[in-house]
């Protein structure tokens, strides 16, 4: 979400997991599960992720993964911290997943910056469990954003996310 100095707002991405939520915990978890499925099939390498996901979630076989995803409504975003842990340990597959997520997510940020005309000294606040503190993913995302927006100014949030949501809801009520 972006906000211009005149108060206008713009949302880019965040369409949800079915249409597109690139860069999110769901996206990262899904990419990790895809890597594991390809390794089980013999079509690829999952690095440390297969062992990590198996030990943390009990997802070790094709049958178990299918049951968890389609019958038990497994929480796919819950896999994302496992990917971050593997990436912090230097796992190349995990680092590749995070690099893809960072590229996708940064494209959304840069698009918002461009559409709002904020190229000079744009303030950027990163909020969310995977990026609001120093993680390998937060560092990758910041680096990707800086490639296209070198003047990006990363800042701490002024308020908690719930306060921002409340302010947006109140602004919506005033318009109605």
6: in domain: no
- Predicted pLDDT at 133: 86
| Residue 129 Cα to chain centre, angstroms | 9
- What pLDDT does 176 receive? 61
Per-residue tens of pLDDT for the chain, all 176 residues = 888 888 888 899 889 888 988 999 999 999 999 999 999 999 999 999 999 999 999 999 999 999 999 999 999 999 999 999 999 999 999 999 999 999 999 999 889 888 888 766 678 888 888 888 899 999 999 999 999 888 888 888 887 878 877 877 887 787 76
Residue 1 resides in a domain: no
| Residue 77 maps to a domain | yes
Q: How many domains does the chain have?
A: 1
Other C-beta atoms lying within 10 Å of the C-beta of residue 4? 13
Task: Indicate whether 133 belongs to any domain.
Answer: yes
Q: Residue 104's domain is classified under what CATH number?
A: 3.30.420.40
Segments forming the whole domain that contains residue 56? 11-175
2 inside domain: no
pLDDT of residue 137: 96
Nearest alpha-carbon partner for 119 in 137, 85, 146: 146
- Chain centre distance of CA 80: 9
pLDDT for residue 142: 92
């Amino acid at each position: 979400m972006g906000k211009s100095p005149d108060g206008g707002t713009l949302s880019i991405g965040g369409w949800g997991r079915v249409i597109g939520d690139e860069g999110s915990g769901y996206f990262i978890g899904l990419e990790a599960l895809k890597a594991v499925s390809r390794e089980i099939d013999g079509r690829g390498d999952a690095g440390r992720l297969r062992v990590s996901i198996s030990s943390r979630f009990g997802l070790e076989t094709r049958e178990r993964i299918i049951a968890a995803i389609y019958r038990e409504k497994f929480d796919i975003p819950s896999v994302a911290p496992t990917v971050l842990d593997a990436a912090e340990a230097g796992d190349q597959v995990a680092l590749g997943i995070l690099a893809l997520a960072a590229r996708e997510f940064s494209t959304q940020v840069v698009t918002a910056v461009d559409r709002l005309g904020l190229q000079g000294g744009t303030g950027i606040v990163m909020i969310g469990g995977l990026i609001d503190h120093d993680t390998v993913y937060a560092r990758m995302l910041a680096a990707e954003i800086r490639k296209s927006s070198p003047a990006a100014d990363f800042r701490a949030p002024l308020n908690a996310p719930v306060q921002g949501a409340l302010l947006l809801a109140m602004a919506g009520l005033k318009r109605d």
